[in-house]
Amino acid sequence: MSEIKQLEADYLIIGAGAMGLAFADELLKHDKQASIVFVERRGMSGGHWVDAYDHVKLHQPAIAYGVNSLELSESKTDLSSRPQIIHYFERISKNLVSTGRARFLFKCDFVGEQPLDKGAIATVASNIDEGVSYRIHVKRKIVDSGYMRVEVPAT
């Protein structure tokens, strides 16, 4: 049996990796009204870091990585490890949800969009509940943060 859930938001962000979270972090800071729905194929935030091998580290000091509202590490020169980075992305996501203006649809795929005069209707499919999909009225923009198409050896 199929079920279509209806949602509404100003922005739909495809992907909850570094790029999508950084965009949302700034957006919610500067626009006090904006609401966001994230659609993420993986089961949690963090993008490719979710699947990376545990021994993989950042290539640069922690101070230069992440979102503007939260530091990745107290030691600014750290080359952070995957577990540290995953924990960091979790904290960012909780902060975004705590604003009451962001929600995450994990294990879901962005399927497509139907443009409207203003905004669009996005279709999103659940990867765990067969037959469940979302019809999301996006009032402003659909933002594809998976644009870089990052791939890691672990996958």
Bridge-based pairing of strands 3-14 and 36-40 is parallel
Contact 122, 12 (CB under 8 A): yes
Neighbour count for residue 4 (Cβ, 10 Å): 10
Q: Identify which of residues 46 and 119 has a Cβ nearer to ligand FAD in the complex.
A: 46
DSSP symbol at 74: S
Site residues for ligand FAD, window 44-103 (CB under 6 A)? 47-48, 52, 56, 58-60, 65
Does position 145 bind ligand FAD by CB under 6 A? Answer: yes
Residue 127 C-beta: closest distance to ligand FAD, Å: 9
Token pair in block for residue 69: 């509202």
Selected from 4, 70, 152, 154, the binder of ligand FAD by CB under 6 A is 152
Does position 146 bind ligand FAD by CB under 6 A? Answer: yes
Does position 42 bind ligand FAD by CB under 6 A? Answer: yes
Residue 130 C-beta: closest distance to ligand FAD, Å: 17
Stretch of residues binding ligand FAD (CB under 6 A), selected from 25-33, 68-76, 86-94, 140-148? 140-148
Token pair in block for residue 141: 């923009």
Residue 40: closest CA among 98, 103, 114: 103
Does position 135 bind ligand FAD by CB under 6 A? Answer: no
Alpha carbon distance 41, 125 (integer Å): 10
